[in-house]
Amino acid sequence: MVLVFEDGFAKTEAVAIPTLLEKLPPARPAELHAAMIAKDVSGDHILATTVGRGQAAITLAETRPDAEVSLWFHDQYQQQLVVSAVQEFPARLGLYCEADAPSSPHGGQYDLAVVPVSKSGDAEFTRDVLQTAFQALDIGGHLVAAVDNPQDKWLRSHLAATGETVRVRPEASEKPTTVCYIVQKTRPLKKVRDFECKVVFRDRERLLTAVSRPGVFAHRRIDPAARHLLNAVDLAEGARVLELGCGSGCVSLGLAARHPSIEIYAIDSSARAVACLRQSAAENKLPNITVCLESAGVVPDPGRYDLVLANPPYYSDFRIAEMFVNSAKAALAPGGTLLLITKQPTWYVEQLPESWNDVAQELVKGYHIIEAVRRP
């Protein structure tokens, strides 16, 4: 890959792949482009996001041994993929899975932020991350952002909305796949947008408020599947309930509000989802909800839950669905119930009868509610 700068600087050849990167899949084009541009931008306190396996942050950490690099993940599963592949990292590279940008290890602001962007990513989430990264910069710091769309106008326009000059670093190729931008922060943002949203919904007699943010399922709405799950559940007092993949947590909120003796344990791999549900539980005065960041489906007190609820995602070729089912089996007491909702029931109907009792399904307005009982 060769990059040509619009302002007439010399061409920059691709940097050699550091050793650690050989343990990871090839970097996505936007991440590679961002890393190559960032290596020529000054900065010893670096914040980096990723659309892959953190290759930009790892490149900067290996090529700048005196720099502090903070690699910010939004999903613990993505973080764990990197940790399991690399295992040993440069001493001054920190990996964080947090709802917001981690504080710089030196206690001040960052002087360089590197944000690769996917053109197919969620637009509001991307805007939120860009704003957060820009705010985390000290005056004089630089934001480097690249996107896998050589005809991009969207990202450039949002960077220009900072009021700063946007410098373009295109990819020199007969068939370019990316474009990169550099923005230097000369003053604080005049207007900071609050992307948080509060969704008000009713479950039985209780009016509840769910906090959501970009990147959280389902942002700015109560998902129809959550509503159907709430309608399908009747709980006895004192029940212990586990929600796998809680998202913004409407199901957990609704069930916890039905009686203070009901114990809800909710998990999600998204740091923002966990933060949102914790905030919602506090605002709705529901101390019987416990929320934890968890990407492998591990829960405390296995074998003691009465009900497990899940709305598994449709991607990953049922890998996540299988993990949810296995986690439910470990969590439930004998005779406990798994209740999940999906628009793609075939895998569950074929797989669950092999190790679950009383498998049944019900069609509700385009969704299939699958119920199964844990065998003794």
Matching residue, tokens 């075939």: 346
| Residue range 255-295, pLDDT digits in tens | 999 999 999 999 999 999 999 999 999 999 999 999 999 99
Place of tokens 């790892």: 58
| Secondary structure (3-state) at 158 | helix
Residue-wise burial string across 312-341, b where 16 or more C-beta atoms lie within 10 A, e elsewhere: beeeeebebbebbbebbbebbbeebbbbbb
Residue carrying the six token digits 């796998």? 244
Tell me, what's the pLDDT at 17?
Answer: 44
Residues 98 and 212 in one domain: no
Answer with the one of 139, 156, 184 that is the final residue of a domain: 184
Q: Among 184, 205, 234, identify where a domain stops.
A: 184
Residue 189 maps to a domain = no
Q: Are residues 344 and 242 in the same domain?
A: yes
Structural domain contains residue 191: no
Q: Given this model, what pLDDT does residue 216 score?
A: 97
pLDDT, tens only, 351-363 = 999 999 999 999 9
- Contact between 348 and 370 (Cβ < 8 Å): yes
Distance of alpha carbon 280 from the chain centroid:
18
If asked whether residues 217 and 339 sit together in one domain, one would say: yes
What's the total number of domains in the chain? Answer: 2
Whether residue 226 is found in the same domain as residue 165: no
Please state whether the peptide bond connecting residue 27 to the residue before it is cis, i.e. omega within 30 degrees of 0.
no
53 and 18 share one domain:
yes
Same domain, 72 and 154: yes
Structural domain boundaries, residue 334: 197-374
**Residue 153: CATH number of its domain:** 3.40.50.150
> Could you give the C-alpha distances from 83 to 20, 91, 178, in angstroms and in order?
11, 14, 27
Is residue 242 in some structural domain? yes
Residue ranges of the chain with pLDDT lower than 70? 1-18
Same domain, 97 and 244: no
* Same domain for 203 and 173: no
Q: Is residue 104 part of a domain?
A: yes
301 with 363, same domain: the answer is: yes
3-state secondary structure of 282: helix
Last residue of a domain, one of 184, 205, 224: 184
Query: Taking a C-beta distance cutoff of 8 angstroms, is the pair 105, 70 a contact?
Result: yes
Query: What is the reported pLDDT for 12?
Result: 39
Q: What is the pLDDT of residues 95-132, one digit of tens each?
A: 999 999 999 998 899 999 999 999 999 999 999 999 99
Q: Which two tokens stand for residue 38?
A: 């960032």
